[in-house]
Amino acid sequence: MRLLLLGGTRFLGRHLVDAALAAGHEVTLFTRGKTNPELFPQVERLRGDRDPKNDGGAGLAQLEGRRWDAVIDTSGYFPRVVRAGAERLADAVTHYTFISSISVYRDFLKPGLDETYPVGTLEDESVEEITNDTYGPLKALCEREAEQVFPGRTLVLRPGLIVGPHDSTDRFTYWVRRVARGGEVLAPNGPHLPLQLIDARDLAEWNVRLVERFAAGTFNVTGPERPLTLGEVLETARRVSGSDAKITWIDEAFLLERGVKYWQELPAVLPESEEKYAGMRQTDVSKAIKAGLTYRPLEQTIRDLLDWRATLPADQPLNAGLTPERETGLLQDWHARRQP
């Protein structure tokens, strides 16, 4: 197949290129050429801005007169921009994949949300500022634009927390690296805390398989297939890394009293006390599993993450998680408070 990727040189995108090439497909990348421009010298590159406001449409003009079997859109955030590209490609490709987000849903008040749950809306659909409040609804509007231009030919994937090598957010990487470093590790709430995640390579390989059969529809994409907990993740990281880490579980109330920020200082973790996050921790992915989504072992993801991070400068800071000083101070306060 001839595949066009809008994006393709960052985290998920580069894994999509790897998966497509491994499957024997011909790949063209359409990017601005600003991120990892040295990647994939063996594939065709089209350089340009997909937003016609930025260059008068010169970037999208490169797509004219071309044909591909399918396009995978990894870089769509604003509905106006998605529509502009989709309309340009409507007669040039057969199938459109839009990489959306699990954040599209109106709320997460109940566990087990499936793809039929209502999505969030915006009073002003022309807004183009990405915030915690607008990101999800904007992605939902992007889905709508793609489906309107490619009716019956659109595959919408709604990933949850994506993890694995080349993840610049470091949300999951923080926990793996912290446990590997050893010593006393601060962990929130308790080992029972539910956690969902998807290895970027599993997502990418499944996406390519769906494109090969021109599958359409909307899918939640996270995992694993069976329930996973933070305790299991940390124990697996300790076993894989061979560290001497000792996990100290600290009450949520204690952490919130001290202004600890879940998802940022405690990445990939959301407060149990806030009901609005219940559905985000336990989303229904049965539709994707029935459609062939598979998961590699957690051990492999963790091992590959550690191997990848080892290729980076040792002093390169993580983009998420507690600083060593912050963690030490919280642990000291916790132990002091618990002394008789």
In a domain, 260, yes or no: yes
Residue 170 has pLDDT above 90, yes or no: yes
Q: What's the pLDDT at 24?
A: 98
* In a shared domain, residues 147 and 249: no
Residues 150 and 177 in one domain: no
Q: Are residues 183 and 326 in the same domain?
A: yes
Degrees, nearest 5: CA angle 226-232-237: 125
- Averaged confidence pLDDT in the chain: 95
Indicate the pLDDT class of residue 128, thresholds 50, 70 and 90: very high
- Return the closest-CA partner of residue 49 out of 37, 35, 39, 60: 60
Q: 280 is written with which tokens?
A: 């985000």
- End residue of a domain, out of 105, 136, 159: 159
Select from 132, 159, 186 the last residue of a domain. 159
Residue 269 is predicted with a pLDDT of: 94
**Helices 200-212, 11-22: crossing angle, 10 deg rounding:** 50
Single-letter code of the amino acid located at 305 = L
Is residue 165 assigned to a domain?
A: no
Residues 180 and 133 in one domain: no
Predicted confidence band of residue 173 (pLDDT cuts 50, 70, 90): very high
Whether residue 339 has pLDDT greater than 80: no
DSSP state letters, 161-172? SEESTT-TT-HH
Q: Domain containing 186: what range?
A: 171-196+225-280+297-338
In this structure, the answer to whether residues 178 and 76 fall within a common structural domain is: no
pLDDT, one tens digit per residue, over 289-311 is: 999 999 999 999 999 999 999 99
Q: Are residues 175 and 149 in the same domain?
A: no
Residue 166 lies in a domain: no
Question: Would you place residue 79 in the very low, low, confident or very high pLDDT band (cuts 50, 70, 90)?
Answer: very high
Can you tell me the mean pLDDT for 181-191?
97
Q: For residue 101, what is the domain's CATH number?
A: 3.40.50.720
Same domain as 71, residue 108: yes
**Rounded mean pLDDT, 190-215:** 97
Distance CA 324, CA 108 (A): 32
| pLDDT for res 340 | 61
Per the structure, the count of domains in the chain is 2
Sheet holding 95-99, edge to edge: 44-47, 26-31, 2-6, 70-73, 95-99, 154-159, 217-221
Question: Does 191 reside within a domain?
Answer: yes
**Is 129 found in the same domain as 184?**
no
